Structure 1
Amino acid sequence: MSISEHIRTDDLMVIAALEQALGEDRVKADHETRLFYANDIFWQPGIAPLAVVMPSNAEELSAAVCLATEAGVAVVPRGGGMSYTKGYLPERSDSIVIDARNMNRIVEVNTTDMYITVEAGVTWEEVNEALEGTNLRTGYWGPLSGIRATVGGALSQNSAFFGSALNGTVAESVLGITLVLADGRIVTTGSGGRKGTKPFTRFGGPDLTGMFLGDNGAMGIKAGATLRLWPKPAEVDYLTFGFESLKDMALAQTAMARTRMVSEGFGIDRTKAQHSASVNRLSDSLKTLGNVASAGKSLLAGVKNAVDVATSGTSFLMKHPYTLHIVTEARNAPELAVNVSTLRAIGERTGKSLPNSVPKVMRSKPFSPVRGMLGLNGERWVPIHAVFPLGDAERVVQANDAYFAERAADMAEHGIVYTIMTMTVGNEFFIEPAFYWMDEITSLHEQSLGAEVVKPWRDRAANPQARDAVARLRRGTQELYASLGGVSWQVARDYPFREILNDSTWSLLCDVKKAVDPRGLMNPGSLGLKG
């Protein structure tokens, strides 16, 4: 179904009821807004919702959900809008989208009991700002898109990057969540759901929290969350290595993961380095250099850091087919020295030590504008991913290399550029191919990046043939990874799921869905669960 300005009379009554309950400023039903919310970073054009509702607290969210579901209208949650897996795209026209970004209060920072409670629309940048001066941090503390990505979105999609090599995904930092069910009930999981008890622990009876993580809102809509805090390490250092093959880099990464000395790290190929280094201008941004300087422990050390970054630049990345960028942290200088020595020895078994400017600059300003959602010349970008046991890394990268070698001619025909990124997340090996191609710029790109940034490419013609080719590549990659025993986090409506679950596991999931959403109105179609 394509975008339509027509809205039925019954649906107009639902919109009017929402406006009366929440206020007209909380409900938008104009064509331009509905069109905007029918796209994600990759999939377009989708089905326009009836309206977009922007509640400011859990009570308003509950009221909106009740009004919609009682009228038989589906409810689709949306966080910061950084997804590319159809997670927040309506499957049917009689849907409302819940934009949770107005639910952005820091509810409590409890440094004594070591937790932070926030509303679902709080961004990861805001979480970290709230913890400034406490010397505390969540285990996983945000994605690269943390300037826009929200806590609720991360919990719905699962998310990993900063802190994830050591502490895993966002799910492993959660103590409890508050959510709204299809019937409007506001429910809190973990100890926060007990009478007179602080939200200090996740456990004590069945783990109800886990049922609502990674669900894309199919089970309920997140209104808030409590995250565990840990002492922030006092010492930090950075390492970069160059490798001749993806296999050599992956083996180094997995060996490093087993030491539990890496806070976060990522490996990229030369093509990705060209796009990332050029787009983000790591070496020539005075603002970035200022951030690097201020991150130094002393004025002299900060200036030296900035000079080191400026002189090393990023040109060295082009000399190596693959580069690995590592952040390691420790409680004190001797412990950090052991980390650095151990990790350097592992990296130099099959690679070469290089200047560490990339991880250093990235840490100096972790939540930069999301310029990387387009390539250097405004190319469209979309990734695909899976995680595997650490011991499977070599087998996986060899199969991955063979798969894309076989498809090189098809990619060349459509002007598709292939890149690769790898990480370790706890005891998992993460692999993420991504694709760049020439295509139209959507309103989502413009609003996310700014009109001035996209202005040179705003009138570029659509290229549905190349986009369809990318979709086929992504699907083939998903199926390859599933055949190798891989697991994908951001299932939404994009990744294979029903077909790779055991029948008994799928039937349990369906039973849970029926219990919390008997009419199938919470993000129908997500996880393959139909309304």
Structure 2
Amino acid sequence: MSASPERLASTHPVVEALIAELGDSVLADSASRDYYANDIFWQPGIRPLAIVMPETREAAASAVRIATGGGVAVVPRGGGMSYTKGYLPSVAEAIVMDSRRLDRVIEVNAADMYVSVEAGCTWAKVNEALEGTGLRTGYWGPLSGVNATVGGALSQNSAFFGSALNGTVAESVLGVTVVLADGSVVTTGSGGRKGAKPFTREGGPDLTGLFLGDNGAMGFKVAATLRLWPRPAETGYLSFGFRSMTDIAAAQVEMARERLVSEGFGIDRTKASHSASVNRISDGLRTLGNVARAGKTLLGGLKDAATVAAGGASFLQAHEFTLHLVVEARNAAELKTSMDRCRTIAGKYGVEIENTVPKVMRAKPFSPVRGMLGRDGERWVPIHAVFPLGDWKRVVEANDAFYAARREFMEKHGIVYSVMTMTVGTEFFLEPAYYWLDEITPLHAKSLGEDVVKPWRSRPANVEARQAVAELRAATQHLYASLGGVNWQVARDYPFRSVLAPETWALLEGVKQAVDPKGLMNPGALGLAVRH
């Protein structure tokens, strides 16, 4: 198959071999290479030699084999929502493997309670495939699920919908299919046995876990199987206002210990201001039809719609912190018991408020990722860690003191601080985020649409402020590590080797050597050495 002159912009022999083998699945033009050298926060990075968008696992295996055989690194990429250098090359001779054309739903097996999908399948597509089955995965997607892929979530770990009760995406995985550095394709879990269905993760050492949270350092994921559970019959919504992060966190942790909530999140007034205006709440009127259709009766749905319209978003500003919960149950009586218990717990620390936010979130869970920018087009980037539930108070107090001490630094550089709290299974999750004025990148424009970013497209780069944000993030990372926190999306951003016991690090290096002896699968990810 012939390729256009633009696609042949790079004449590297590996790129030429990839084009000869995969044709239009390979992009080597300058614009594409520039685009794939950026993530949500870090830019510009090293341009890849080319981008490969395989449509089959066989094509993916061929691409990996050709690249590594020629000494070229392979950097996996999913939906492009990363802010941790996860899919940015760390070496000049690298290709990016974009998984988004690997997007088939392979099998929905209601009888055996699992779904198998290709790694580039978005969470929105997974949930669409399960409509009408009465089943759902335990964790069923991030807020960015219209873009975020299953493979990306597995590589960097992920939590939101269903996570307060069911933990991160890793808790829902039964097995993965991965292309290793030599181009061989392996399947973990029972799906890797001769003649067996992919119905369980157990049955020998847990090889699946090697490829979760690895950011593609161990291999390129092409498919995964996820466990299914019955979809709860009843859903309720609650919101509360609080005076401090100590109060909101106390309520969240107490509810988590009783396993009352399916998903929930707490935000401060600043986060509410940006999120309410740019995400789902400001779009409430356009969401009313979805809310109405979600009602068990037309009348009930219309009442919900009217409540959303009347509630608006201004009420969020009346409280320093607000908590928004979705509670699910098998029947109405069970739901009432859980809702009443949540009200009792929250009532000890705060007050109940209009439940507009969780209603709108659930009415259209996978909306455009407008939150990549702030209210007036400010750049946005978060930082996070998870902690044991019992450590929540000292973590909150340390976090408050940390940012209070840096208020002058943030004001100097025009950095606006906000914070979100969640519980994920038996973990306390803390995610500060920062907003600042800076240039709009092609990644933002493509993800949100040129019409959305047009008012800010000419904004100049603000390298000084961006560097200040990077310094603030790094200091926060060290703070959380000192408090015993754990980060999910390690990539090339969060500390990893420095927080591991030497023996644990040595084991990781040994596994890497076994599956990727030349160190060509996403070199530098997880802090593993970049070999030359």
TM-score, normalized by length of structure 2? 0.97
* AA in 2 matched with 1:203: E
Measure how far apart 1:41 and its partner are.
0.1
2:150 & 2:96 partners in 1: Cα distance?
A: 17
The reply to whether residue 148 of structure 1 matches residue 147 of structure 2 is yes
2:129 is matched with which residue? 130
1:283 & 1:37 partners in 2: Cα distance?
A: 31
Measure how far apart 1:367 and its partner are.
0.3
SS of the counterpart of 2:240? strand
What aligned pairs does 1:149-228 form with structure 2 within 5 A after superposition? 149-228=148-227
The reply to whether residue 80 of structure 1 matches residue 73 of structure 2 is no
1:70–1:269 CA distance, 2 compared to 1 (3 A): same
Verify the 8 A CA contact 2:284 2:308 in the aligned structure 1: no
What aligned pairs does 1:94-493 form with structure 2 within 5 A after superposition? 94-280=93-279, 282-283=281-282, 285-493=284-492
1:292 & 1:313 partners in 2: Cα distance?
A: 14
For residues 377-399 of structure 1, give each alpha carbon's deviation from its aligned partner in whole angstroms, at most 9, with x where no partner exists: 10000000000000111110100
SS of the counterpart of 2:164? helix
SS of the counterpart of 2:177? strand
Verify the 8 A CA contact 2:10 2:29 in the aligned structure 1: no
Greater Cα offset, 8-17 or 439-448: 8-17
For residues 280-316 of structure 1, give each alpha carbon's deviation from its aligned partner in whole angstroms, at most 9, with x where no partner exists: 2515543211111111000000000000111111111
Verify the 8 A CA contact 1:385 1:430 in the aligned structure 2: yes
Verify the 8 A CA contact 2:151 2:222 in the aligned structure 1: yes
1:122 & 1:79 partners in 2: Cα distance?
A: 9
2:17 is matched with which residue? 17
* AA in 1 matched with 2:21: A
For residues 307-340 of structure 1, give each alpha carbon's deviation from its aligned partner in whole angstroms, at most 9, with x where no partner exists: 0111111111100000000100000000000000
Measure how far apart 1:8 and its partner are.
12
Measure how far apart 1:184 and its partner are.
0.4
1:467 & 1:295 partners in 2: Cα distance?
A: 42
2:126 & 2:86 partners in 1: Cα distance?
A: 23
2:389 & 2:133 partners in 1: Cα distance?
A: 34
The reply to whether residue 36 of structure 1 matches residue 35 of structure 2 is yes
* AA in 2 matched with 1:17: A
For residues 330-368 of structure 1, give each alpha carbon's deviation from its aligned partner in whole angstroms, at most 9, with x where no partner exists: 000000000000011000101000010100100000000
* AA in 2 matched with 1:448: S
For residues 38-86 of structure 1, give each alpha carbon's deviation from its aligned partner in whole angstroms, at most 9, with x where no partner exists: 0000000000000000000110000000000010000000000000000
The reply to whether residue 91 of structure 1 matches residue 106 of structure 2 is no
Measure how far apart 1:22 and its partner are.
1.1
Greater Cα offset, 13-22 or 121-130: 13-22
Computed over aligned residues only, the root mean square deviation of the Cα atoms, in angstroms, reads 1.3
Measure how far apart 1:261 and its partner are.
1.3
1:451 & 1:47 partners in 2: Cα distance?
A: 25
* AA in 1 matched with 2:74: V
2:205 & 2:184 partners in 1: Cα distance?
A: 19
* AA in 2 matched with 1:461: P
* AA in 2 matched with 1:434: A
* AA in 2 matched with 1:138: T
SS of the counterpart of 1:224? strand
1:513 is matched with which residue? 512
Measure how far apart 1:20 and its partner are.
1.1
SS of the counterpart of 2:84? coil
SS of the counterpart of 1:102? coil
Verify the 8 A CA contact 1:283 1:310 in the aligned structure 2: no
For residues 416-445 of structure 1, give each alpha carbon's deviation from its aligned partner in whole angstroms, at most 9, with x where no partner exists: 000000000000000000000000000000
Verify the 8 A CA contact 1:164 1:425 in the aligned structure 2: yes
1:8 & 1:282 partners in 2: Cα distance?
A: 46
2:209 & 2:407 partners in 1: Cα distance?
A: 40
2:244 & 2:477 partners in 1: Cα distance?
A: 22
2:362 & 2:407 partners in 1: Cα distance?
A: 35
For this pair of structures, how many residues does the alignment match? 525
SS of the counterpart of 2:12? helix
Measure how far apart 1:244 and its partner are.
0.4
Verify the 8 A CA contact 1:253 1:423 in the aligned structure 2: yes
Verify the 8 A CA contact 1:191 1:204 in the aligned structure 2: yes
2:77 & 2:289 partners in 1: Cα distance?
A: 34
2:423 & 2:295 partners in 1: Cα distance?
A: 27
Verify the 8 A CA contact 1:283 1:309 in the aligned structure 2: no
1:410 & 1:185 partners in 2: Cα distance?
A: 50
Measure how far apart 1:108 and its partner are.
0.2
Unmatched tracts of structure 1, length 5 or more: 1-6
* AA in 2 matched with 1:237: G
2:3 is matched with which residue? none
* AA in 2 matched with 1:12: H
For residues 189-244 of structure 1, give each alpha carbon's deviation from its aligned partner in whole angstroms, at most 9, with x where no partner exists: 00000000000000100000001100000000100000000000000001101000
Verify the 8 A CA contact 2:14 2:70 in the aligned structure 1: yes
Identity across aligned pairs (percent)?
A: 69
Following TM superposition, the consecutive aligned residue runs of length 4 or more in structure 1 with deviations greater than 6 angstroms are: 7-10
